Chains A and B, each alone.
Chain A
């Protein structure tokens, strides 16, 4: 059983489209995160939710909107996709201890 699962694994789309990436964790953790890894492998946090409440919102364009329907799910919706949004997006979850467990990533390619 995958602890943190993301779908889809690959996403290829045109500029201007709207797309969503889903994340689910079965670890019972209260906190979930989205990270972006750019083409140079640099990882940066985007958002964090604790028990459905937004607690971290880094300087991310408002075209990106996270949604947490319950504490086991954190989805990422992206409007009006741009070329610069091409990246690998990682979901993670953690208990209060702070150890974060990562999903396998979603590779987004915007053409």
Chain B
């Protein structure tokens, strides 16, 4: 069975500072990996995805993530955080063999200090 762990429940970062959110997954085959962002009271918006190929993937809003198979990780990064990046971030693993169902991590809430 697939699983996702996001070790950090909350992260507080100053505006303009860099951000890294951790994600570890467990899946028996090559995973499909995703990062979604949820702003307060909103739905989930896809930031980026990894299916295959280049292990460093670029997403929207200046985010990037790196797939490291040896560490079973897919960490999300942004070089310079903006106040509008305050939100809940979810890492997810997809299983094509299981009808594309997504298994989500518990989420990391990002707070941005002025």
Q: CB of B53 within 8 A of chain A?
A: no
Minimum distance in angstroms from A86 CB to a CB of chain B: 16
Q: How far is the CA of A33 from the CA of B101 in the complex (A)?
A: 8
A-B contact count (CB 8 A): 59
| Chain B interface mostly | strand
- What 0/1 pattern do residues 59 to 101 of B give for CB contact below 8 A with A? 0000000000000000000000000000010100010101111
Question: Which residues between 91 and 114 of chain B lie within 8 Å of chain A, taking CB atoms?
Answer: 94, 96, 98-104, 106-107
Q: Residue among A4, A43, A56 with the most chain B CB within 10 A?
A: A43
Residues of A contacting B43 with CB < 8 Å?
A: 4, 90, 102-105
Is B17 in the interface zone, CB < 8 Å from A? Answer: no
CA gap between A94 and B49 in the complex, in Å: 14
B96 to A98, Cβ gap below 8 A?
yes
Tell me if A48 is interfacial: C-beta within 8 Å of chain B.
yes
Q: Smallest Cβ distance from B84 to chain A, in angstroms?
A: 18
Smallest CB separation, B68 vs chain A (Å): 21
Residues of B near A97 (CB, < 8 A) are 51
CA distance A33 to B102 in the complex (A): 10
Give the contacting residue for B100; candidates A98, A101, A103; CB below 8 A.
Answer: A98
